[in-house]
Amino acid sequence: MHHNIPIHENRMFRSLVTLMLVALCLSAVQGRRLCHPTNVTISAEKEDCPICFTLTTTICSGYCLTRDPVFKNALSSVYQNICTYNEIRYDTIKLPDCLPGTDPFFTYPVAVSCKCNQCKMDYSDCTVQSIGPDFCSNSLVSQFQLIN
């Protein structure tokens, strides 16, 4: 038994399947939050200051579209984008009880806006694994004095 399907119906069916696959892929990407500023807790401490403070700051976090070629060439370089700072400001806190001669001020970055771009080692941690941002070596206290 042979069924004759008109050509225009076959094209329409393929177009519909393609459209459904594109919609499925886009919905999977939307399940991830794109690159954006987000609040995190970090620690502030210095070697000659006995107390570690936790504070909330804003970092860049989220998903960036990336591509990885199937056929890699030793002569071509592959760059992957990460979620990183677009605009940044710096805030400062004063750590108490520091030893005489120690600068008690701790300055940290605050993300104002974010973008997907190459990792800049000058101001980003681009490692695969590092200690958590709220790790403390000293005694922990959750209060701080902001200096503007």
Query: Is residue 126 domain-resident?
Result: yes
Please name the residue ranges forming H helices in the chain.
7-30
Q: Are 97 and 5 in contact (CB under 8 A)?
A: no
Query: Is residue 13 domain-resident?
Result: no
Q: What is the pLDDT of residues 91-139, one digit of tens each?
A: 999 988 899 999 999 999 999 999 999 877 776 666 665 556 656 766 6
Q: Residue 102 has what pLDDT?
A: 93
Question: Based on the structure, what is the number of domains in the chain?
Answer: 1
Please state, in angstroms and rounded to a whole number, the distance separating the CA atoms of residues 99 and 112: 33
Q: What is the pLDDT of residues 31-64, one digit of tens each?
A: 568 999 999 998 888 889 888 888 999 999 999 9
In this structure, which amino acid lies at residue 81?
N
Please state, in angstroms and rounded to a whole number, the distance separating the CA atoms of residues 2 and 5: 10
Mean pLDDT across 59-79 = 77
Please state, in angstroms and rounded to a whole number, the distance separating the CA atoms of residues 114 and 97: 35
Non-local CB neighbours of 88 within 8 Å, separated by 6+ positions: 109, 110, 111, 112, 123
Q: Nearest-CA neighbor of 36 among 86, 81, 75? A: 86
Query: Is residue 14 domain-resident?
Result: no
Q: Containing domain of residue 104, as a range?
A: 35-147
Query: Is residue 23 domain-resident?
Result: no
Query: Is residue 53 domain-resident?
Result: yes
Does this model's pTM top 0.75? My answer is no
**CATH number for position 41:** 2.10.90.10
Query: Is residue 16 domain-resident?
Result: no
Query: Is residue 133 domain-resident?
Result: yes
The confidence band for 67, taking pLDDT boundaries of 50, 70 and 90, is confident
Residues in the chain: 148
* Percent of the chain clearing pLDDT 90 (strictly above): 29
